[in-house]
Chains A and B, each alone.
Chain A
Amino acid sequence: ELKVEQNPLFLSMQEGKNYTIYCNYSTTSDRLYWYRQDPGKSLESLFVLLSNGAVKQEGRLMASLDTKARLSTLHITAAVHDLSATYFCAVGEPPSNTGNQFYFGTGTSLTVIP
């Protein structure tokens, strides 16, 4: 069974600061996902990383993937309050005709303090 570990689980940071969330996974995969979830809401897809060395950026968030290290990072630049949410990483099995499973980390609860 593929395991996905995120750290930290809880993150409180001041506005304007930078920080990185880490996502480690246990077996080879080149399909890594980042999601955002606001309290009481569903999950919103942020990034889909499909190859080693992939880097994607959207606003103050940048995600990268190192498949050899089995590590993905979500970097937050100059945090603002609107980024407060829970962030999940997930790893997908390779696609097949009979479907594929996705495995989620436990999430990082981010609070940005003014």
Chain B
Amino acid sequence: DAGITQSPRHKVTETGTPVTLRCHQTENHRYMYWYRQDPGHGLRLIHYSYGVKDTDKGEVSDGYSVSRSKTEDFLLTLESATSSQTSVYFCAISAGLIQETQYFGPGTRLLVL
């Protein structure tokens, strides 16, 4: 599992509230990713990080922000949650000599009411 944990694993929140999801890795990987998974869409990249304080947007970044203040933690924040952000969120790291393989965390199920 490449030492990836996500917290919380499940969360129910109300529209308009801020939400922060945490991804923690124990193996000092440089590259980390946040995806969301929705039926009919597969996985879509939200944001990714290529080092401490180095982040970039993915294809569905609107409404999300990220931070990475230390190598092991990558935080995803929904500033003001909306029902369209109800989803399963996966964190991933890439590893290997040429960053060729992605390993995924266990996921966080988020329900926005």
Contact = CB atoms under 8 A, between A and B. Distances in A.
Interface in A65-112: 88, 90, 92, 95, 97-107
B101 interface: yes
A106 B102 contact: no
A50 interface: yes
Interface in A40-63: 41-43, 45, 48, 50
B90 A42 contact: yes
A44 to B, nearest CB: 8
B42 A95 contact: no
Q: How large is the interface on A (under 10, 10 to 19, 20 to 34, 35 or more residues)?
A: 20 to 34
Contacts of B101: 33, 45, 48
A42 B107 contact: yes
Interface string B76-113: 00000000000000100010001111111111000000
Chain B CB within 10 Å — which of A97, A102, A103, A107 has the most? A102
Chain A's interface: helix, strand, loop or mixed, by majority? loop
B109 to A, nearest CB: 9
Contacts of A45: 101-103
A1 B45 CA distance: 12
Contacts of B100: 31, 48, 50, 92, 95
Given A31-B100, A48-B100, 8 more contacts: A33-B101, A41-B106, A88-B43, A95-B100, A101-B58, A102-B45, A103-B59, A106-B40
